Amino acid sequence: MKHENEPTYSFVILTFVLILIDTILAWLSVTVFPTVGGGVISWVFIAVAFMILFTLWFGGYGAIAAYVGTLVGSGLLVSETLVHNPLIALLWAGAGLLQVLIPLVAVRSFGVDLTMSNPRDYTYVILFAVIINNLVGAAWAVLTLSLIETVSFTTAFTAWFIGNGVICILIVPLFLKLFTQRVQKSRLFVKTYWD
């Protein structure tokens, strides 16, 4: 679905721009910072916070970009193992998708004001965009990765959860507070999932 005043091609362009940004941030996260799990799990995965923000602001278009950005930027571009196991790579990237869909569904379901105007909003964002989503994403990624290589579950899970959690707590609530009102004025802001 599209906004009444916004042509479909604008959302196609938006999705491609978000994919590019997410892919670059994901690639930087696993090439610049220390990694575990075959070099695809970073202790400082800066991309995740922006993937969440883009999904909260742009709905399903941000979610598509998060999945592709995870698959390409922190998977296929850096891991020969995932390149040679495309089905596992597709499953593994589901962690990025889960990490953005959980906060999106929660925020939309509980009517969270993304301008972070009251403590209730912070509670929901921290619970679903910092804690629960990163627990689920870490477990999904590490279990999927363990299908093709020996991975220390504890080390890889800890790296994913703590690294993502710290980045998310520092960036997501602050950027929502600072930039949501501006983004909401854009014709590309998505109030539900696709429109």
pLDDT one-digit tens code per residue, 99-130: 999 999 999 999 999 999 999 999 999 999 99
Residue 59 CA to residue 77 CA, distance in Å, equals 26
What domains can you pick out in the chain, each with its CATH number? 8-184 (1.10.1760)
d(CA 112, CA 43): 29
Exposure string (b/e) for 153-171, b if CB count within 10 Å is 16 or more? eeebbbbbbebbbbbbbeb
Q: What is the pLDDT of residues 40-76, one digit of tens each?
A: 899 999 999 999 999 999 999 999 999 999 999 999 9
Q: What is the mean pLDDT of residues 79-91?
A: 92
Point out the least confidently predicted range of 17-26, 68-77, 79-88, 131-140. 79-88
Check if the beta carbon of residue 95 is closer than 8 Å to that of residue 143: no
Cα separation, 155 vs 69, in Å, equals 23
Other residues' Cβ atoms within 10 Å of the Cβ of residue 132: 16
Predicted TM-score (pTM) of the model is: 0.94
Would you state the pLDDT for residue 25? 97
How many Å apart are CA 29 and CA 101, to the nearest integer?
A: 21
